[in-house]
Structure 1
Amino acid sequence: MSDTETEASGAAWGEYLVWFMRALAVLWLAKGLMHWSIVLGIGEGEETRFLAMPAMTQSATVFFAVFDLVAAVGLWMASAWGGVIWLIAALAHLLLILFMPEIFGPQRPFAVIVAVLVAIYLGLTFLAARAEAAE
């Protein structure tokens, strides 16, 4: 098959995956910067005072402040390690929301959004790998 036949006959799943990863990188960059704003006390309120938080919440906040930015860089570069780091960060946040809601408070809508994003990422990865194998 020539390149024009491939473009006309099916979707370029690899390109869709790269664009999805880039959009996800922007979201995760914002999420990481939000955690850093809590650590640094930017926009600080009574409920967001970092030093007044329990130790578990402080630890989780610092973990996601670092891990989310690393994941965002890897996602933007569309590298395999970026997807893996993002999956670890997303699943870690999901597990915290589901099994330890006292750390960040109830975030059920965010948990649903993250679960949908993980499902889309895994689906696009599967379709891109299958399309590449077919070539």
Structure 2
Amino acid sequence: MSTSPDPAADGAAPHLDHRAFDAFGMREVSGDDIDAAIADAGDKLVCVFFWGVDCFNCEMAKKAMLANPEPVRALDLHWLHANVYAHPELGKRFGLHGIPVFMFFHKGKKLGRATGWHGQGQFAAAVGNARLKAGGKPLAG
């Protein structure tokens, strides 16, 4: 018998852990407000975490980020998140064929994406390439 709390007992949906959203200050967005939320970031690099309820790989990504949060915070991203199951128009608009996807924007321009969570190194490399692209520099090899 498990002594861990049942998420459904307090009205929360199962497999919907919001701790990563809170830990990294991720603002929830929908198709109606994503463009304004990206614009609100000003000069900061924006990362939109596209996820879905009951998405095993999305939950694993959140757990991995929470297990070692400091390198993620050190990337100094302006975080947004969107549940593409609740907002399928975002999946269509951004050409998502699977989740999780981390998409990078700067001043409204899409700079790239990281599909899935393949570890901190891969994610940091994707962020680095987005920063290079934002600065008009060649991408790293």
| Range of TM-score over shorter length | under 0.3
Greater fraction helix: 1
Bigger RCO of structures 1 and 2 (CA < 8 A, at least 6 apart): 1
The structure number with the bigger radius of gyration is 1
Q: TM-score, normalised to structure 1's length? A: 0.26
Q: TM-score, normalised by structure 2?
A: 0.25
